[in-house]
Structure 1
């Protein structure tokens, strides 16, 4: 967190009155260290190859929106035996719900979701699509262990 700059001591040990950081009109924000998020959804077996193909060339507008919504370190893994897709990412923003709403407002993202949702089966009762929002299309997972 930001704190008021501290005076800098001079070579003789006295306080010069100078600050160790430049004076600023407003405090600067330190980057959010992030919140790790994990989710799962089931990939329909007949779409495995197509899913991998589209994810090898994700649309630039979708990638930009993901970054603009404060998502970093995003990976999706596939377990061929169960058909489960496991996604993990770090959210480094300050308003997750607001950023997800901004994501949902992007027409290219909604087009991407419409396409990729057809490849998947949600594991969340009552989920209808990624675009619908709640209940979530991807099932959120609880983190039970982490070793940084």
Structure 2
């Protein structure tokens, strides 16, 4: 997930589908097929049950903002042995940086991040929280294989 804050940071213009050249030949009638992202963070062991509980009932405002910002197929997995949370999603819009800025501007999303950040430990040196920007709270990880 390139360099980003939490799951939703703005990235440089080179991360947009248009700037990265991922849209050759696309016109206004063709939808961008999406860019997949993955990130990790560590869940504090004392918050495993609470984290699962809050994610079983994600606030409607947060879910709406995720959808409005062109995020699809969003999942978070937990490895109880290491405490690692693995998140993946697909971005299907055309302005990733702009959509992530809109995500960050939502007060309910920021409130959600403050709650969930307290349950996590970032794996990124110097990261403070999801709202602070760089360095990112969730550690971006590189995709090395994919088959649709």
CA radius of gyration, larger in: 1
3-state SS of 2:30 partner: coil
Gapped regions of structure 2 (runs ≥ 5): 1-25
Aligned to 1:78: 78
List aligned pairs for 1:22-33, cutoff 5 A. Answer: 28-33=28-33
Distance 1:38 1:86 in 2: 7
Shift of 1:29: 3.7
Give per-residue Cα distances to partners, 1:56-84, cap 9 Å, x unaligned: 00000000000111100000000000000
More RCO (CA 8 Å, sep 6+): 2
Distance 1:129 1:29 in 2: 39
Aligned to 1:95: 95
Q: CA RMSD in A?
A: 0.8
Distance 2:95 2:29 in 1: 14
Distance 2:142 2:64 in 1: 27
Distance 2:100 2:135 in 1: 13
3-state SS of 1:73 partner: strand
3-state SS of 2:41 partner: strand
Q: Which moved more, 1:79-88 or 1:124-133?
A: 124-133
Distance 1:55 1:116 in 2: 10
Aligned to 1:49: 49
Displaced runs of 4+ in structure 1, greater than 4 A? none
Shift of 1:32: 1.1
Aligned to 1:131: 131
Aligned to 1:141: 141
Using the size of structure 1 for normalisation, the TM-score is 0.81
Using the size of structure 2 for normalisation, the TM-score is 0.81
Decide which structure has greater strand share: 1
Aligned to 1:37: 37
